[in-house]
């Protein structure tokens, strides 16, 4: 019997038991759809995390204060106030460093007329735009001159604009606002960047760091120093240079530990990717288990089918079907069953992934590899779980099969 005949016969028998076949396929459908959707979510998440991290800045190194220890117990990052403006200036001396943007952070109440809004306040320097990959959409950013002279100027994010100047038709550049009761002039609006991770990059007020330290936050220490390396090739060198500069500046003896921490963008990226790839592996593992369960369903129904059709097998053998004819017929039926399930599963999986990215906040990315993989796996499931029932059918003796009631 030719392959095409076998496929035709198997289609007929699948149709003859429509509901049963669909229920059997459901196991495979769910398994494959789960694999496709999970992988799509996993890949989508990791690529969006990667782009968010890349969006933080170009060739970014983050210098944060070290952790204080009290009786050998670490108090966590930022528990020491070890970084100063002088440190930032010293770091900027290195050739491997292209830009330095120290920052202090706080929250602030911003008032314009009768409107008020609470946002995060960041004091920084003119290098901010370059170091943090930001752009000004309207107006301008503050200059180094304004930073050194402690000007009361502010650049705001779009979120602040829409909340504070709700229905205003006036040009907001040049408007005077009160930030924590101190008057500031708005000189620019940042281009919208969206959110990265937990922080909304559009919901912030930027002012010169000197102004922030003297009039709003107080104190002489800076929270974090953002540094951009001259190029991606000198990231490691920049990291070493910063370390040496800071150790010298802080008078640390060789055996003493660093009282600061340098994190590079690629560190964050690789951590995030590790997390998302292990998530993907976990989800795929669960999906693979459901594929196996689906395969057992196929095997179960094939065994039922062989028993039910013992007589048919007897007839076919009596009129000349060889063992391998019967074996092939049932094997192809099992493979057809699981392949149809696989194809439907791919369709549902892709559909689910598209729906998730359309409705939810998760981004998904559909690639060909998991689809091919699912296609092959489901046919393999058909073969593996079809062999035993098919062998059972092929080994029936024609007289026994014919006499079977």
Partner 1 sequence: MRPVIQIEDLKKQYQIGDQEIMALRGVSLTIDEGDFVAIMGPSGSGKSSMMNVIGCLDKPTSGEFYLDGQPVSLAHDDELAVIRNQKIGFVFQNFNLLPRTTAVENVELPLLYGGASAKERRERAIKALISVGLAERLNNKPNELSGGQQQRVSIARALVNDPVILLADEPTGALDTKTSEEIMGIFQRLNDAGKTVILVTHEPDIAEYAKRIVRFRDGQIISNEVVQERRIAQAEEVRT
Long-range contact list for 171-180, CB < 8 A, 24+ apart?
A: 172/138, 173/138, 173/139, 175/112, 177/110, 177/111, 177/112, 178/110, 178/111, 178/112, 179/108, 179/109, 179/110, 179/111, 179/121, 179/154, 179/205, 179/207, 179/216, 180/108, 180/109, 180/121, 180/216
To the nearest 10°, the Cα dihedral for 108, 112, 117, 122?
A: -30
Smallest separation (angstroms) from partner 1 to the CB of 400: 10
Beta-carbon contacts of 116 under 8 Å, excluding residues fewer than 6 positions away, are 109, 110, 164
Task: Confirm if 258 and 345 have CB atoms less than 8 A apart.
Answer: no
Nearer to partner 1, 132 or 392 (CB): 392
Nearer to partner 1, 204 or 317 (CB): 317
Task: Confirm if 100 and 227 have CB atoms less than 8 A apart.
Answer: yes
Smallest separation (angstroms) from partner 1 to the CB of 329: 11
Nearer to partner 1, 319 or 368 (CB): 319
Smallest separation (angstroms) from partner 1 to the CB of 304: 16
Binding site for partner 1 (CB under 8 A): 1, 5, 12, 16, 311-312, 314-325, 397-399, 402
Beta-carbon contacts of 181 under 8 Å, excluding residues fewer than 6 positions away, are none
Nearer to partner 1, 1 or 347 (CB): 1
Q: Residue 87, CB half-sphere, CA atoms under 13 Å: how many?
A: 29
Nearer to partner 1, 348 or 404 (CB): 404
Nearer to partner 1, 281 or 318 (CB): 318
Smallest separation (angstroms) from partner 1 to the CB of 18: 12
Smallest separation (angstroms) from partner 1 to the CB of 294: 27
Smallest separation (angstroms) from partner 1 to the CB of 386: 21
Nearer to partner 1, 12 or 256 (CB): 12
Smallest separation (angstroms) from partner 1 to the CB of 22: 18
């Amino acid at each position: 019997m030719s392959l095409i005949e076998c496929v035709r016969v198997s289609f007929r028998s699948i149709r003859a038991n429509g509901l049963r076949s669909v229920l059997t396929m459901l196991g495979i459908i769910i398994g494959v759809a789960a694999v496709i959707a999970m992988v799509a979510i996993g890949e989508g998440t990791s690529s969006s995390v990667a782009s968010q991290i890349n969006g933080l800045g170009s060739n970014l190194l983050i210098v944060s204060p070290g952790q204080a220890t009290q009786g050998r117990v670490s108090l966590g990052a930022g528990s020491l106030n070890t970084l100063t403006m002088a440190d930032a200036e010293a770091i900027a001396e290195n050739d491997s460093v292209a830009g330095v943007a120290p920052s202090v952070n706080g929250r602030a109440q911003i008032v314009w007329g009768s409107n008020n809004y609470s946002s995060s306040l960041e004091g920084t320097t003119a290098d901010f735009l370059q170091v943090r990959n930001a752009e000004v959409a309207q107006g301008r950013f503050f200059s180094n001159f304004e930073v050194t002279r402690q000007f009361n100027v502010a650049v705001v994010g779009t979120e602040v604009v829409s909340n504070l100047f709700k229905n205003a038709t006036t040009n907001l550049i040049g408007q005077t606002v009160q930030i924590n009761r101190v008057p500031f002039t708005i000189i620019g609006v940042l281009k919208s960047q969206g959110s990265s991770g937990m922080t909304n990059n559009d919901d912030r007020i930027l002012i010169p760091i000197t102004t922030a330290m003297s009039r709003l936050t107080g104190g002489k220490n800076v929270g974090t120093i953002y540094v951009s390396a001259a190029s991606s090739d000198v990231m490691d060198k920049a990291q070493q240079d910063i370390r040496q500069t800071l150790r010298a500046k802080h008078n640390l003896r060789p055996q003493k530990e660093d009282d600061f921490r340098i994190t590079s963008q690629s560190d964050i990226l690789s951590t995030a990717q590790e997390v998302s790839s292990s998530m993907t592996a976990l989800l795929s593992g669960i999906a693979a288990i459901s594929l196996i369960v689906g395969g057992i369903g196929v095997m179960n129904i094939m065994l039922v089918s062989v028993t039910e059709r013992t007589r048919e097998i007897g007839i076919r053998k009596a009129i000349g079907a060889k063992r391998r004819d019967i074996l092939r017929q049932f094997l192809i039926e099992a493979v057809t069953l699981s392949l149809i399930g696989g194809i439907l599963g791919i369709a549902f999986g892709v559909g689910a992934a598209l729906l998730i990215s359309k409705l939810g906040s998760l981004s998904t990315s559909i690639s060909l590899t998991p689809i091919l993989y699912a296609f092959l796996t489901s046919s393999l499931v058909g073969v593996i779980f079809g062999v035993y029932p098919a062998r059972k059918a092929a080994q029936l003796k024609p007289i026994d099969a014919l006499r079977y009631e």
